[in-house]
Amino acid sequence: MKLITAVVRPERVQQVKEALFQAGISGLTLSKVSGHGGEQEVIEHYRGRRVMVEFREKVEFKMAVSEPFVEAAIAAIQAGARTGEVGDGKIFVQTLDRVIRIRTGEQDNAALTPVNETTKTPIPV
């Protein structure tokens, strides 16, 4: 089981979401975040003043997936998020020791299975 966190451009959220859904990954969390990576600093004018933009608005996807879905999730995120420009984002993959579905008490892989489906294999992206 892995926790996959992806930080992407806000304008690519729809494409990433659709690619994940096509890969069979529907359980995810989105958060608005700000960050700084390889992008150059930008000077903008705000109310007549020059302002240096240090942090860019981004969107963070988080999803817990079983092993068969890890590579499918990574491929889907890359396909949906990539523009080829600096600032496309990053994907982080971490090991999960334990997952528990609160409603039923199911644990680990059983807790990761979508509620409306019993089995599903990843679709190659």
pLDDT tens digits, residue range 31-69? 999 988 777 777 777 788 888 777 889 999 999 999 999
Instruction: Give me the chain's average pLDDT, please.
Output: 87
Q: How far from chain centre, in Å, is Cα 43?
A: 29
Phi/psi of residue 72, nearest 5 degrees: -65, -40
Q: What is the pLDDT of residues 97-115, one digit of tens each?
A: 999 999 999 999 999 866 5
- Give all domains of the chain, ordered by start, each with its CATH number: 2-112 (3.30.70.120)
Contact present, 122 and 72 (Cβ < 8 Å) = yes
Give CA separation, 57 vs 34, 36, 86, in Å.
5, 9, 14
pTM (two decimals): 0.81
Q: What is the pLDDT of residues 59-76, one digit of tens each?
A: 999 999 999 999 999 999
Give dist(CA 100, CA 103) in Å, integer.
9
Q: How far from chain centre, in Å, is Cα 45?
A: 31
Give dist(CA 78, CA 8) in Å, integer.
10
Q: Which residues pair with 57 in a beta bridge?
A: 34
